[in-house]
Structure 1
């Protein structure tokens, strides 16, 4: 299936400040369930473990975490890769404290949420850790995407960008057909169970319709590896970081697009 070459900066509902929080939370719950269930980000664990060793860290600071989808899978995979002390802090401009509390409970506190809103383009100095962003980098237009990377460089922090898809027409087709059916079938199994999620999925199907739109637009907004590297080079004009970008294939077919970077001279 051919790749989608065009990048369109079309809006996503979840980015809009006025978008109802209850609908956004329902969409995030679905994404968390699917990404975790499918193990979407398991293939990035060896790469992340290598980056953590280069930066002498065991803590990840997740930006744009949404409901924390897939983070538990990443934590387990990192520990299997020889990082037994790995921990993760979840942050977002629109925090999801209920979802994060559920993740914290299931991981015995190894994954914790940071309640105040966090702008990924200007991370507070007190929030340390190797910065990662899963399934959210496409939300940023090129100037903001570059600023996010530049902020990590300015803070001397390692950074990893991961999108759980490749930019192809096949993936857009799945977002419009198979995934909405899965959403309708699986929603009753999402935990914690919320009446609002059932109402806005089945009685007034705003959650699945908005998810279909955002899922398709997400792929159109994605940066391919060469564009990610170009952003990194502009964010790091001094060349003080090691950067690499590419795609990793999951055993059952889908690919993860990634960019990782860390200081060539780690902070003492």
Structure 2
């Protein structure tokens, strides 16, 4: 499937924050309940072991769903607690505070805005991006990878899709009734979520649109591999492909870390 960089509501700076946060809360709920990213645990372990890092710096975290369930799993797999710091250009502090409490501070956050193309030097650790790399145009995506290389940091890109046409059909048929059913169970509870789901169905409409466009925007493993060939800096190990979920669904991944002599 080709890549089409179409319009996503969530990307617009003028888009109402109340809708953006509720949409990311929904994404977090789905990711954590379905365990979409469970298959990437071995890749996270590899980056931690190869670099000697003992923490993860998550970029473009949204509501924080990617690592909420993975943090204890990767910690158990590698044999020590791996703290996580959530960051985003538009910090979702309410959702992150809940995650920090529920994780007993294993997952914390940076309250200031963080640009993934120019991460502050004081924020270190294995970098991850879950369900977010497709938001960036090719030159911006390239800049994210180049910034990691410039600062000699490992980076992992993970997209919860195999970029296949049947996923678009699935989104159109399943997402609308699913959102109507699960909305009351999403935490933290918000009256605005009920209002913009049942009275004015803005959240389901915008989420469905962005979900379909997200699949069209995703970079395939071949596209990601081509990006790595354009990077300048010290030698890196790059691996890309598909990680398969137990349900049969695929997760696109790219991992990279400094080559060990």
TM-score, normalization: structure 1?
0.95
- Aligned position for 2:224: 228
- Aligned position for 1:43: 39
- Tell me if 1:259 matches 2:260: no
- State how 1:186-205 maps to structure 2 within 5 Å: 186-205=182-201
- Aligned position for 2:84: 88
- Tell me if 1:78 matches 2:74: yes
1: CA distance, partners of 2:204 / 2:35: 21
- Tell me if 1:52 matches 2:79: no
- Secondary structure, aligned partner of 1:81: helix
Pick from 203, 207, 213 the counterpart of residue 211 of structure 1. Answer: 207
- Secondary structure, aligned partner of 1:177: helix
Q: Deviations over 1:89-134 (max 9, x none)?
A: 0000110000000000010001011110101000011111110000
2: CA distance, partners of 1:159 / 1:45: 14
Pick from 230, 236, 239 the counterpart of residue 241 of structure 1. Answer: 236
- Aligned position for 1:185: 181
1: CA distance, partners of 2:109 / 2:216: 30
Contact between 1:60 and 1:89, CA under 8 Å: does it hold in 2?
Answer: yes
- Secondary structure, aligned partner of 2:239: strand
- Aligned position for 1:131: 127
- Secondary structure, aligned partner of 2:65: coil
- Aligned position for 1:108: 104
1: CA distance, partners of 2:228 / 2:105: 33
170-179 vs 8-17, greater mean Cα deviation: 170-179
Q: How many residues align?
A: 261
Contact between 2:57 and 2:86, CA under 8 Å: does it hold in 1?
Answer: yes
Q: Deviations over 1:129-158 (max 9, x none)?
A: 110000000001111100000000000000
**Offset of 1:224 from its aligned partner?**
0.6
Contact between 1:233 and 1:239, CA under 8 Å: does it hold in 2?
Answer: no
**Offset of 1:238 from its aligned partner?**
4.6
- Secondary structure, aligned partner of 1:176: helix
- Change in Cα spacing, 1:206 to 1:65, as seen in structure 2 (3 Å) is same
Q: CA RMSD in A?
A: 1.1
Contact between 1:54 and 1:262, CA under 8 Å: does it hold in 2?
Answer: yes
Structure 1 gap segments, 5+ residues each: none
Pick from 3, 9, 14 the counterpart of residue 13 of structure 1. Answer: 9
TM-score, normalization: structure 2?
0.98
- Tell me if 1:145 matches 2:141: yes
Q: Deviations over 1:174-200 (max 9, x none)?
A: 221202211110000011110000000
- Tell me if 1:118 matches 2:114: yes
**Offset of 1:232 from its aligned partner?**
1.5
2: CA distance, partners of 1:68 / 1:79: 17
2: CA distance, partners of 1:56 / 1:214: 37
